[in-house]
Each structure stands twice: as C-alpha cells, then as structure tokens.
C-alpha cells in the first residue's frame, strides 16, 4: 500500500492557518460550554419539578383538610359514591386539577376516590404517618400509578384526628413539563452557541489581521529567529512599551549599559538613573546618531517609534573608534609640534647664517647660547614642577603647539605634582582635553594665553586650566559637560562634544568633580578635583608635600 500523501494527511488533522485553528478551537469551546451549561441545568430540573409537584399536592391536601364540613360529613355519613364527602372531594379535585383526592377514616377506609368503586375499600399505601399527625410528601405508586403525593391529618372541631386526606398529582404531567422544557433549553443553548461562534469568528479575523495569517509554527519560528538575531548582533537593542518601560534587552545592550534583566519592566530613569543616555532612550533628546557616554564607553544611539506607541533604540559602541580618533588627534598634534619646531629651527638657522655671513661671530655665539638655553629652560621648568614623565611630556608638546598657533602655554608657579599618580594615563586625557579646548577658545584673540596649574593636596590632585578667551556664559556652564554638546564645527573623522563629558565622567568616577567658572580678567577657568589620585608617599617622599607652595597672585599677574 502506498503511503498517504502529505496533503491528505494535513486534511485529516488540524488546519495549518491560524485563523482556522483559532476559530475551530473557540467554536469547540463555545459548544462545550453550551452543552455543559444545558446539562447542569437539566440535571436538577427533574428534581425541582418533583418538589414542586409534591408541594402542590400537599397544599391541596391541607386546603381540603381545613374544610370543617368534610370532617362533619366523615363522622355523620357512610362512605358512598354519592355521599357528601365524595361530592366535596371531587369538586375540589376538578378545581385544582389534581389526579385524585382521597379522604379516609382512622381505619384507612376511603370515603372519596376518583373511581367510585374504590370507595369503602382500604387505601393501597400506608397512611400511618398522616394518621399519627404528620404531613407527608412523596413520590409513590398506588392504584392510579406513579404520582406525587401529599398526605395530611384530618381534625374534627375538637382538634382530634379523625382521618386523613391524601392528594395525588399525576407523575406523567411532571415528566411532560420536564420534556416540554428541553426544547426551550436547547433553543437558548443554540442561540448562545451561535453568538459564541460569531464572536469566535470576529476574534479570529482580528487575530488573522494582526498575525498576517501566519501559522503557529511560522510564528514560533519567527520568534526563535528573532531571539537568535537580537542576541547575536553586535549592536545593543532596547525595546520600550507605550508607557516608556523597558520590555526587551539583548545581550549587547546589557553589556553596553551595564544592566541586567532587573531593568525589564522599569523606565530608563529607574534602570539607568539621570543622564543623557536616559534622556536619549526616553525620547527627551531627539535626533540621529546621538552621542552619549555610559561609564567608560562612548555610545552612538538612535531611537525609532513603533506603531503600538513604544520605541526601539539601538546602541553602537564607539569607544574604540573614539580612542582611535583621539590617538589620531595626538598624532596630528605631534606632527604640528614637529612642524612648529622645524619652522622655528629653520628661522633660527637662517638668523645664524645671516650673522655668520655678516661676520658677527660674537653675536652668533650669543644667539646660539640663548636658543639652547631657552629650550632647555622650558623643559627643565616643566619637569621640575611636574615629576610624572607622561604629563611633563604632554605639556612640553602642547607648549610647542601653542607657540605655533600664536598662543602661550604657561605652567603656573603654584604647580607641584609628585610622581605618585595612580592613573597617569587618565590624568593625561583630562589635561589634554582641557588644554585643547583652551587653545581652541583663545585662537585668534590678542595676547592669547593658557595657564595650567596642577597641585597635590595630601592625596588629592587639583587641576586648573585658565584661558584668556571669551569665556562661557553662565547658562551654558553645565551644558558644556553634556555628551555631544559643542559650539565648534566637528572635524571630518569624528564628532565633537565628547572631551569635556569624558573629563567630568573621569572625575565623578573617582568621587571628584569638574566645574567651570569665570577666570580673573576674563576667560574661562576649568577646575577638576580628583580625590585619592595619589598613592601613599614612600619613605623618600616624606618631604614632597612641602613643595606645594602657591605663588602670590601679584607674582602670577606679573608672569602673565
């Protein structure tokens, strides 16, 4: 026998389309609920009808027993088919549509019955409880078949039991009512099923539109592919719902932002704290390729709204690229310094050549001595005040660049920095950024000057960079430390607005601060405080703090 074709196998099972599967499941659920509700209603209905019939029979028996004329006729007349008891019982039976009304004496002899030939005979069921003064309800079988019965005692005028009254309701009428109620129940159940099927169809159509009629297996495959893609790409992805809460983070976003699954369900303000990164993710800062700093990382962020009112933000790590850019800046700065030295050296050599050609040999010797002495004095002055070789080399190079750009770079007389820096490379970055910004600020101004002061106070390093530029307005003194903020045109290889932000981040990570104020005589003064930036002094460095002497303000003004 050949195997069953795949198409036939699919027709025998559930349909693949989500619309069909959802509709089929919902209709099945609605049908099951309708059947269950109908069964739960029919189960107690029969018992309720029996109870109703028995209570009705008991009520008719009580009404009959309360007729005083029946009790008198029972005591004064014999049990006959045309006797007064039979006539009154039949009148009440016809009025109440009971199956029978039997009046009996204390011996159980009938004085009334639907069949006249049964009058005078003993009842077919035990009347003992009723003759003992109890009211009885039951479903029982007698000479007229199965019926719902009610039995009550019959009292005379002296409230003595002289007999009993038994009333029966035909059980066939109870069953007929039960059967008659079933079609109505099925009609209601069918109507409910139809409404449920219509609601199921509407819901299935909505699900079909929202899921684009994909099968469950297709959706499962898409979710698996999405998870693999999100966690496999080297770009951070943060998804937010319409309330601004984080609902998804891939592995790269966790790494770049330094957060974990505890951030899911919380707003960026709660998960990240205040800062530009939070503002970008929350949509308070708009734009493309927004620069932000998170910890030691420089990130490029983009945010795109979604149709459901949420948003998806992407994060790219630009730290290495930013480091390469700064290395390129350093290289260009070194080239500028070498070019400046070459230019200055050429001018001096031309001057020396002219002195020699004029046979001014004494002046030539004096000129060579001054040139060599000036250069040596500049390097020696820096290394005397700043004993860390990296910082000293940085400032010597920056001084040459400043001279080429028509500015003067001074190291304050108050500068005293021992060679005990815990993170010299970090301080080199801070000083380099501040000096570069100061040189940019004084470019093109008369008497351009930048002054650097580095001093140690116990284990704290205090850095001040002052310039003679236009200064920074009060309302912008906090904005200059914001990621991506700059008043200068960015270079081609990278964006501006990162240097001062990194300076503040570096200071805050060490528990310090970075601020900007107005310098004496105009310009800007940047102050960076770095607590615990120096290692404990060794035995030979015990006298080093005595070198931290500040020059008087008048001397500094004279040096300017």
- Asked if 153 and 161 count as a contact pair (C-beta separation under 8 A), the reply is yes
**pLDDT value, residue 555:** 35
pLDDT band of residue 319 (cuts 50, 70, 90) is low
Percent of the chain with pLDDT over 90: 9
pLDDT at 11 over 50: no
Task: Provide the pLDDT for residue 389.
Answer: 86
CA nearest to 400, candidates 452, 468, 338, 464 = 338
Q: Measured between alpha carbons, how far is 367 from 545 in angstroms, rounded to an integer? A: 39
pLDDT in tens, 244-278: 888 888 888 888 888 888 888 888 888 888 877 88
pLDDT digits (tens, 9 = 90+) for 185-236: 667 777 777 777 777 777 777 776 666 666 666 666 666 666 666 666 778 8
Q: How high is the pLDDT of residue 127?
A: 86
Mean pLDDT score, 321-344? 62
pLDDT score for 284: 85
Residue with token string 């957060």: 259
The segment with the largest mean pLDDT, out of 35-49, 126-140, 471-485, is 126-140
β pairing state of 136-142 and 145-155: antiparallel
d(CA 507, CA 517): 17
**pLDDT the model gives residue 215:** 62
Of the candidates 453, 457, 340, the one whose C-alpha atom is nearest the C-alpha of residue 395 is 453
- Region of 550 (left: φ > 0; alpha: ψ -120 to 50; beta: rest) is beta
Topology alike, domains 16-214 and 236-317: yes
Q: CA–CA separation, 449 vs 307, rounded Å?
A: 55
Q: For residue 247, how many other CB atoms are within 10 A of its CB?
A: 13
- Residues 340 and 400: beta-carbon distance below 8 Å: yes
At residue 102, the pLDDT reads 92
What span, in angstroms and rounded, lies between the C-alpha atoms of 302 and 299? 10
pLDDT digits (tens, 9 = 90+) for 512-536: 899 999 988 888 999 999 988 888 7
Dihedral sign for Cα atoms in the order 407, 413, 414, 420: positive
* pLDDT for 163: 92
- Please calculate the CA angle 449-403-496 and round it to the nearest 5 degrees: 75
User: Which of the pair, 555 or 172, is modelled with greater confidence?
Assistant: 172
Residue 298: what are its φ and ψ, rounded to 5°?
-100, 120
Nearest to 515 by CA among 474, 549, 552: 474
Sign of CA dihedral 10, 14, 19, 23: positive
DSSP letter string over 312-349?
A: EEEEEE-HHHHHHHHHHHHHHHHHHHHHHHHHHHHHHH
**Dihedral angle sign, alpha carbons of residues 320, 325, 328, 329:** negative
Residue 560 clears pLDDT 60, i.e. is over it: no
Question: Does the domain made of 16-214 have the CATH classification 3.30.450.20?
Answer: yes
Q: How far is CA 358 from CA 34, 128, 353, 370, in A?
A: 121, 161, 9, 19
Class level of CATH domain 236-317: alpha beta
Q: How far apart are CA 114 and CA 59, in angstroms?
A: 19
pLDDT range class, residue 99, cuts 50, 70, 90 = confident
More confident residue, 447 or 186: 447
Pairwise pLDDT comparison (506 vs 371), residue with the higher score: 506
pLDDT at residue 539 greater than cutoff 90: no
Q: What is the 3-state secondary structure (H, E, C) of 141-154?
A: EECCEEEEEEEEEE
Highest-scoring range by mean pLDDT, 39-53, 55-69, 341-355: 55-69
Indicate the fold that domain 321-559 takes in CATH.
Heat Shock Protein 90 (3.30.565)
Cα–Cα dist 254/262, whole Å: 11
User: What DSSP element (H or E) covers 404?
Assistant: helix 389-404
Reference 310, options 249, 243, 263, 250; nearest CA is 243
Q: Give the pLDDT of residue 526.
A: 94
C-alpha–C-alpha distance, residues 316 and 298, integer Å: 9
pLDDT > 50? residue 494: no
How crowded is the C-beta side of 343, counted as CA atoms within 13 Å? 11
Closest listed residue to residue 531, CA positions, set 451, 389, 431, 423: 423
Q: How far is CA 318 from the centre of its chain?
A: 27
Distances (CA, A) of 48 to 55, 141, 147, 244: 11, 19, 15, 58
Question: Which pLDDT band, with edges at 50, 70 and 90, does 450 fall under?
Answer: very high
Q: Are 461 and 530 in contact (CB under 8 A)?
A: yes
- In this predicted model, what pLDDT tens digit does every residue of 398-418 receive, in sequence order? 887 887 788 888 888 899 999
- pLDDT for residue 59: 92
**Res. 551 pLDDT band, cuts 50 70 90:** very low
pLDDT in tens, 343-392: 666 776 777 778 787 778 777 777 776 665 555 556 777 888 888 888 88
Q: How much is the pLDDT for 372?
A: 58
From residue 223, alpha-carbon distances to 128, 213, 318 in Å are 79, 15, 29
Residue 281 above 80 pLDDT? Answer: yes
Domain ranges of the chain: 16-214, 236-317, 321-559
């Amino acid at each position: 026998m050949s195997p069953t074709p795949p198409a036939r196998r699919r027709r025998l099972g559930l349909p693949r389309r989500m619309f069909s599967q959802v509709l089929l499941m919902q209709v099945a659920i609605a049908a099951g609920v309708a059947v269950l509700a109908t069964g739960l209603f029919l189960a107690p209905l029969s018992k309720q009808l029996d109870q109703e019939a028995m209570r009705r029979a008991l009520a008719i028996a009580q009404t009959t027993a309360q007729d005083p004329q029946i009790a008198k006729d029972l005591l004064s007349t014999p049990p006959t088919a045309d006797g007064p008891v039979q006539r009154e019982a039949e009148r009440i039976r016809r009025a109440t549509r009971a199956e029978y009304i039997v009046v009996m004496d204390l011996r159980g002899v009938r004085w009334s019955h639907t069949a006249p030939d049964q009058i005078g005979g003993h009842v077919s069921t035990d009347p003992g409880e009723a003759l003992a003064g109890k009211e009885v309800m039951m479903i029982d079988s007698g000479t007229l078949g199965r019926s719902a019965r009610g039995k009550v005692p019959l009292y005379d005028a002296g409230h003595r039991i002289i007999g009993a009254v038994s009333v029966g309701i035909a059980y066939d009428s109870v069953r007929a009512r039960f059967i008659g109620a079933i079609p109505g129940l099925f009609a209601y159940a069918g109507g409910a099923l139809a409404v449920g099927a219509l609601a199921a169809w509407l819901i299935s159509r909505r699900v079909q539109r929202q899921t684009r009629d994909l099968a469950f297996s297709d959706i499962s495959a898409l979710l698996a592919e999405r998870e693999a893609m999100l966690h496999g790409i080297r770009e951070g992805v943060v998804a937010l719902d319409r309330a601004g809460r984080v609902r998804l983070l891939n592995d790269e976003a966790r790494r770049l932002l330094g957060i974990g699954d505890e951030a899911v369900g919380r707003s960026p303000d709660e998960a990240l704290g205040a800062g530009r990164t939070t503002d970008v993710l929350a949509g308070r800062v708009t734009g493309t390729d927004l620069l932000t700093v998170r910890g030691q990382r420089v990130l490029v962020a983009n945010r795109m709204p979604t149709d459901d009112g949420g948003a998806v933000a992407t994060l790219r790590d630009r730290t290495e690229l930013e480091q390469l850019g700064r290395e390129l800046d350093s290289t260009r700065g070194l080239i500028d310094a070498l070019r400046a030295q070459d230019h200055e050296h050429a001018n001096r050599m031309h001057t020396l050549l002219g002195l020699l050609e004029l046979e001014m040999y004494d002046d030539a010797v004096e000129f060579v001595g001054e040139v060599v002495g000036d250069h040596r004095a500049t390097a020696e002055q820096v290394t005397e005040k700043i004993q860390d070789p990296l910082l000293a080399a940085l400032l010597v190079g920056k001084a040459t660049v400043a001279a080429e750009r028509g500015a003067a770079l001074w190291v304050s007389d108050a500068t005293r920095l021992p060679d005990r820096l815990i993170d010299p490379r970090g301080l080199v970055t801070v000083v380099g950024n501040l000096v570069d910004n100061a040189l940019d600020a004084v470019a093109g101004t008369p008497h351009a000057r930048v002054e650097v002061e580095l001093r140690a106070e116990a284990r704290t390093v205090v850095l001040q960079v002052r310039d003679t530029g236009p200064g920074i307005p009060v309302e912008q003194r906090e904005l200059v430390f914001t990621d991506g903020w700059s008043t200068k045109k960015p270079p081609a290889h990278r964006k501006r607005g990162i240097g001062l932000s990194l300076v503040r981040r570096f200071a805050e990570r060490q528990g310090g601060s970075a601020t900007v104020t107005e310098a004496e005589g105009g310009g800007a003064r940047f102050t960076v405080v770095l607590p615990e930036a120096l290692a404990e002094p060794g035995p030979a460095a015990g006298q080093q703090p005595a070198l931290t002497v500040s020059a008087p303000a008048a001397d500094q003004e004279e040096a300017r």
